[in-house]
Amino acid sequence: MEVILQKGKGRRVEDGHPWVYGNEIEHINGNPQTGDIVSVYNFRKDFIGKGYINTLSQITVRLLTRDADETIDKSFFRNRLFSCRAYRETLGYTTNYRLAFGEGDMLPALVIDKFADVYVMQTLSAGMDKWKNIIAEILLEDFHASGVYERNDVPVRTLEGLTEHKGFLSEPFPTRFVMEEEGVRFHVDLDAGQKTGFFLDQKDNRLAIAQIVKNKSVLDCFTYTGSFALFAAHFGAASVQALDISADAIRMMQANAELNGFKQIEGICANAFDVLPQWVKEGKQFDTVILDPPAFTKNRKGIDNAIKGYKEINLRGIRLVKPGGFLATFSCSHFMDVNLFYDTVAAAAKDAGRTVREVQFLNQAKDHPVVWGVQETHYLKGLILQVL
Ligand code: SAH
């Protein structure tokens, strides 16, 4: 079955992007069903690649290979997952890491996180969803997984005509356990935690705060399970205020603090958009402020509001930093690209009337590889700034 692109379309796909949009297609030969493997050609009939199709989705084809002779079957996925693991092992990952990062690993719409010998999976498109049991088998047979869990309770699946679902793809096993990262212990809840249970993408950035928290007063805003707050305590912070709007998050953060015996962390359950301005008014300040807000937008339409949200939070956050102190600020929305992120934080600093110096630019961890030309793979970015 073949998909022929229109003249003038397909350049992006030929240059390496894996997505073919419905409005780029001239013709589909052979009546493929949802999830079937099709070959994609440009208008000159030059082969571009093979992937799975879903005519219900705006992203109609997602390419899996550029090799016309490669068959998409169980051994294709096994080989791909072996290279995913080889890349991570080369970079020093051993126990807990993202094994597959979708388009970043040429496995579109597939996310797999590994926590020791337990794997959590998301198949976010109809074409990838068809393979989920095969992929679980590979993890059990070839990766010696003790269990595989599916966290497909993600709204984006509805764009693909899929339902939201979570559950075991192996024999049942305990989905709550304790994991350790660089000497800090965390409760992980694969079933009830956000996304796949723990934000592995901030791993390098948790280490990057080491020097700016020692003996300092720290605010960790949007703490969730307290990952930055705990690392701040681990690196010797004098006091840490960990803030989140969700009472559940604060409870998880507190349980994690207890697990590690950290006494200097205080949980605050509040809306950052209310509390930060209030603290600014009261003249409260911290040596170091960490801002790791949610994406604020999951689509391009919401970008203006998201920019407003980021600017507001950064403006307040900057004002809460003592002169000479530090701000670590993040955005996990890929719509907020690097330039927009810099511009927004710069505008916030300007409105706050503070001069900032860039200490370090931060990125998503290396087990979430960014593929050049596939901008959607770059979502998490951050800055450590000194606020003068
Ligand atoms: N820093 C965390 C991840 C943060 S996820 C980590 O490293 O694991 C974003 C968090 O922001 C969620 O826990 C969510 O409950 C919280 N949140 C969302 N809106 C908020 C608001 N207006 N005020 C405070 N917290 C908020």
Residues with CB under 6 A from ligand 1: 199, 202, 222-225, 227-228, 243-246, 249, 271-273, 292-294
Name the amino acid, one letter, at 374.
V
What pLDDT shows up at residue 187? Answer: 95
What pLDDT shows up at residue 240? Answer: 98
273 CA: nearest ligand 1 atom: 22
Q: For residue 285, with 0-12 CB atoms within 10 Å meaning exposed, 13-18 middle and 19 or more buried, which class applies?
A: middle
Counting ligand 1 atoms within 8 A of each CB, the residue from 244, 253, 278, 308 with the most, and so the one to mutate, is: 244
Q: Identify the residue whose C-alpha is closest to ligand 1 atom 26.
A: 245
Residues belonging to the active site: 332
Q: For residue 90, with 0-12 CB atoms within 10 Å meaning exposed, 13-18 middle and 19 or more buried, which class applies?
A: exposed
What pLDDT shows up at residue 193? Answer: 81
Query: Checking phi first, is residue 286 left (phi over 0); if not, alpha (psi -120 to 50) or beta?
Result: beta
Q: Identify the residue whose C-alpha is closest to ligand 1 atom 19.
A: 245
Q: What is the largest CA-CA distance in the chain?
A: 68
225 CA: nearest ligand 1 atom: 8
Give the pLDDT of the chain (388 residues) as one tens digit per residue: 999 999 999 899 999 999 999 999 999 999 999 999 999 999 999 999 999 999 999 999 999 999 999 999 999 999 999 999 999 999 999 999 999 999 999 999 999 999 999 999 999 999 999 999 999 999 999 999 999 999 999 999 999 999 999 999 999 999 999 999 999 999 999 998 877 668 999 999 999 999 999 999 999 999 999 999 999 999 999 999 999 999 999 999 999 999 999 999 999 999 999 999 999 999 999 999 999 999 887 778 888 999 999 999 999 999 999 999 999 999 999 889 999 999 999 999 999 999 999 999 999 999 999 999 999 999 999 999 999 9
The answer for residues whose C-beta is within 8 angstroms of residue 21's C-beta and 6 or more apart is 58, 59, 60
What pLDDT shows up at residue 173? Answer: 97
What pLDDT shows up at residue 299? Answer: 78
Distance CA 40, CA 17 (A): 13
What pLDDT shows up at residue 57? Answer: 94
Instruction: Compute, in angstroms, the gap from residue 210 CA to the centroid of ligand 1.
Output: 21
Instruction: Compute, in angstroms, the gap from residue 324 CA to the centroid of ligand 1.
Output: 26
Counting ligand 1 atoms within 8 A of each CB, the residue from 240, 245, 265, 268 with the most, and so the one to mutate, is: 245
What pLDDT shows up at residue 29? Answer: 95
Counting ligand 1 atoms within 8 A of each CB, the residue from 224, 332, 364 with the most, and so the one to mutate, is: 224
**pTM tops 0.85:** yes
290 CA: nearest ligand 1 atom: 1
What domains lie within the chain, and their CATH numbers? 2-65 (2.30.130.10), 74-174 (3.30.750.80), 199-387 (3.40.50.150)
Instruction: Compute, in angstroms, the gap from residue 222 CA to the centroid of ligand 1.
Output: 3
Residue 124 φ/ψ, nearest 5 degrees:
-100, 5
Q: For residue 166, with 0-12 CB atoms within 10 Å meaning exposed, 13-18 middle and 19 or more buried, which class applies?
A: middle
Instruction: Compute, in angstroms, the gap from residue 313 CA to the centroid of ligand 1.
Output: 12
Instruction: Compute, in angstroms, the gap from residue 292 CA to the centroid of ligand 1.
Output: 7
List strands edge to edge, sheet with 118-123. 96-101, 110-115, 118-123, 147-152, 165-168
199 CA: nearest ligand 1 atom: 8
206 CA: nearest ligand 1 atom: 7
Identify which of 66, 65, 87, 90 has the alpha carbon closest to the alpha carbon of residue 76: 65
What pLDDT shows up at residue 174? Answer: 96
